[in-house]
A and B are shown apart, each in its own frame.
Chain A
Amino acid sequence: MLSASLYIIVCSAKNRFAMRLRRLREPRYLIGAIVGAAYFYFAVFRRMGVGRGTGRRGRASISPSVMLAAYGSAAGFAGTGLLLLAALAWIFPADRGLLAFSEAEIHLLLPAPMTRRQLLVHRLLRSQLPLLFGAVVSSLFVPLAGGSRLRFGIGMFIVLVTARIYFTGVTLSRARLGAWRATERRVAWAPLALLLTAVAVVAVSILRAHQAMPIGTFAGISSNVGRAIGRGPAAVAVWPFAAVVGPLFAGSYRQFFTRLPGALAVLAVLVEWVLRSAEIFQHTPDTVQRPTVDRPRSGGAVRARNVGWTLGLSGRTESLFLWKNAMQTLRSTNVFSMLPFVIPAIVLTVVGATVRMSATERRGPAAALATTALFLAGVCALLGPQAMRSDLRGDLRHLDVLKTWPVKSSAVIRGEMLWPTLALTLCTWFALICATVFSAAAFPSLPLAERLSLAAAAAVLAPALVAAQLMVLNAAAVLFPAWVSTGPQRPRGLDAMGQRLILLFGVILALIVTIGPGVIAGGIIGFVFYRLVGAVSLVPAAIVCLAIVAGEIGLVTEMLGAAYDRVDLSEVERE
């Protein structure tokens, strides 16, 4: 079976590489590849050269261990983080790891005379190349000196492989936690019990250390954590996790080779755990992820949630798309599907609010709430359109259906933009209202009239900002459908990276051009009336800006209609 697996891996890799080379004959891939290669050169190799040059002049390169040295043992801290992630994986299983079989594997390998252990070994082997690629790329992008770059790459590879195998084990075990056979239940619960014990031991140790020496600063807290996990039962509990990241944070080759056996031992134990679990569980229904046509993107079995909104049998085309996209968002959204967006949004908001509050020394819950809400409004209005793809970008895979509909093309584009514009504007308004209510605490120097004027102007500008971004992003989907990914998997390769870079710069430029006239006209209005009515002049300025942007959107979507008619489905990159 090993030879069959290796045959699949080698042939697939060889053919994928040949296909990538062949498609460089097409300009869209060639241009992408040139831009991608240029970026790679300037971002990585050029910087490495500069780094070597400056290194000779006495500037030391950065090492991950140096970065964390101030807070104690780097591997210990990273290990504690891994322990936390390992525990969270049981609550939020984001990755099905090796069980995410491809369509071909399901139809060709599952019916083959292979045991589940052999199937998993095949998946394990098959996952190595992408993980190796990920490790190499990450080692190139991290600013390290030549020798430590190799160590970092190998260390990262071990971490990635270990994580992939661990997620597989979690997926296998989670499905059997309620198994009716006692043996299966025991096998499923054993790793969870061990993990919970480790978490409890570490948590208690950190709590005790903090009670013994209560410190308010971040450095003090980390010092306490370092002490707690560096000795006693907590050190034992953290050891497997610290061992996995040990080679990654090695400061020298001597240290690297000393730590390597520990990491490999943990990896071996995990592999054995997963393969044994697979053997024990193989008599019960499988946990293989079967990709099927029209299965919801979230992967799970979704029920048709009643949202109490029935489509009327008559009305404008735009409202039809509003309803369709709203249904998609409202039915596909749950706690798990929101995590990839909510977590970065919360991190950005909290970091921004903390920095702002530290700079202004505004304290108290009201000030904190106002500042946080303000940053949240910014995140919704500025980053929301990139993340919320329930528009034409998301519907490119349904283009063959949309094209048979008897509707005006410009109405399709406007309709596709309507729901994300509405949803993001409402989110921004909600955040702005919260910020305004508590604004007295965060901005005590501003009088009420000014705060209200600013809030009203921001509320008027929000839909303009959101809609302008969505228009540019949807225009990119219409004009360059081949460069927009239609599935959850983003296209890989140098050419795809170059295409994304070109699109990113194009979108930024188009956005500036779109919003520019409105900002200039609104700015003139605001400037003229500011002397007469003060901050209230911001409101008519924002209204003028909104009107101009709305006019531009109407004009551009009409023009894009013709381009939409010409979109060739054979150009759309299918999954």
Chain B
Amino acid sequence: MSLSVQHFTRTYAGSGGSVFTAVDDLSFDVRGGEIVGLIGPNGAGKTTTLRSLAGILRSTAGHISIDGHDIVDDAVAAKRVLAFMPDEPHLFEYLTVAEHLRLMARLFTVVDFEPRARALLEELELTGKERSLPGELSRGMRQKVVIACGLVRPASTLLFDEPLTGLDPVGIRRMRHTIVARARAGACVLLSSHLLHLVEEICTRVIIMDRGRKVADGTVAELASRDDLAVPGSSLEQIFMRVTGQDRDGRIVKSEV
């Protein structure tokens, strides 16, 4: 179980024929059991990276493979072991919660669907909402449905883009446990979040991105021990501020690390 990103680059066509590079020559690996936190300021390229890993966007250059399956050349096999939970809960307006889960079970050939779905609905506090349409649910509830759709199949690679957006404190706590439990079961987890304390708490490794490039990669302890990134005893927040060139109040103090 592994996720491999090699020299991944993604550009967008801008107005007037200009080209905007959202992610530039990004390489990293995530092994089974690891929870890797992907952090960076807005516009750093985190969501573009995750959406490309999920097969939504095509890479401009480089290779992405999930469990050894290339996301472009062997897309069906790669996606079969992948679960992507986006920050915006996009659901089908006219399918109920239960029908969304059933749809996922059909797509990903989940054999023990009924008990898995029941347990998941219980775990995410969605019991009693099975027959509700997305329009009848709050944003937090819709986010939980998206997460349930991702977790109902036994995926070996889990991609979370701001998974806690819209969740209540109980939901956040449960979600944290769920992510850790999946990693302990052997899944490789890549998680993008602005909640640095969450990343520091549950992630085994952290990748910091800035303006499309990887600027740091390692455990929090490793990053804190590097003289060029932190002073001794730094927290992840302090490392983040320093790496992205901002002072304690968020003011930009340098343009490049």
Contact = CB atoms under 8 A, between A and B. Distances in A.
B79 A404 contact: yes
B89 A294 contact: yes
B173 interface: no
Interface centre among A23, A295, A408 (most CB of B within 10 A): A295
B136 interface: yes
B91 A403 contact: no
Interface string A397-408: 011110111111
A313 interface: yes
Contact of B107 (A405, A408, A565): A405
Contacts of B91: 294
A306 B96 CA distance: 10
Contact of B86 (A25, A310, A400): A400
Given A22-B15, A313-B106, A313-B110, A404 B134 contact: no
Interface in A299-321: 301-304, 310-315, 320
Interface in A180-209: none
Nearest to B138: A292
Interface in B59-102: 72, 75-80, 82, 84, 86, 88-96, 99, 102
Q: Is the interface of B mostly helix, strand, loop or mixed?
A: mixed
Interface string B225-245: 000000000000000000000
A142 B188 CA distance: 65
A304 B96 contact: yes
A52 to B, nearest CB: 40
Interface in A308-340: 310-315, 320, 324, 327-328, 331-332
A22 B58 CA distance: 26
Interface in A362-420: 398-401, 403-408
B64 to A, nearest CB: 13
Contact of A400 (B51, B72, B107, B132): B51
Nearest to A317: B107
A311 B89 contact: no
A315 B109 CA distance: 10
A575 interface: no
Contacts of B89: 293-294
A114 interface: no
A145 B95 CA distance: 54
A293 B79 contact: no
Contact of B93 (A25, A297, A404, A569): A297
Nearest to A312: B106
The 3 closest A-B pairs by CB, nearest first: A406-B79, A294-B134, A406-B80
24 contacts: A22-B15, A292-B135, A293-B89, A294-B134, A295-B135, A296-B94, A304-B133, A313-B110, A313-B113, A320-B103, A320-B107, A327-B92, A328-B92, A328-B94, A332-B93, A399-B56, A400-B86, A400-B90, A401-B92, A404-B56, A406-B76, A406-B108, A407-B76, A570-B13
Interface of B: 12-13, 15-17, 51, 54-58, 72, 75-80, 82, 84, 86, 88-96, 99, 102-103, 105-110, 113, 131-136, 139, 142
Given A25-B15, A294-B91, 11 more contacts: A26-B15, A293-B142, A310-B102, A332-B94, A400-B90, A404-B56, A406-B78, A406-B107, A565-B58, A565-B75, A569-B51
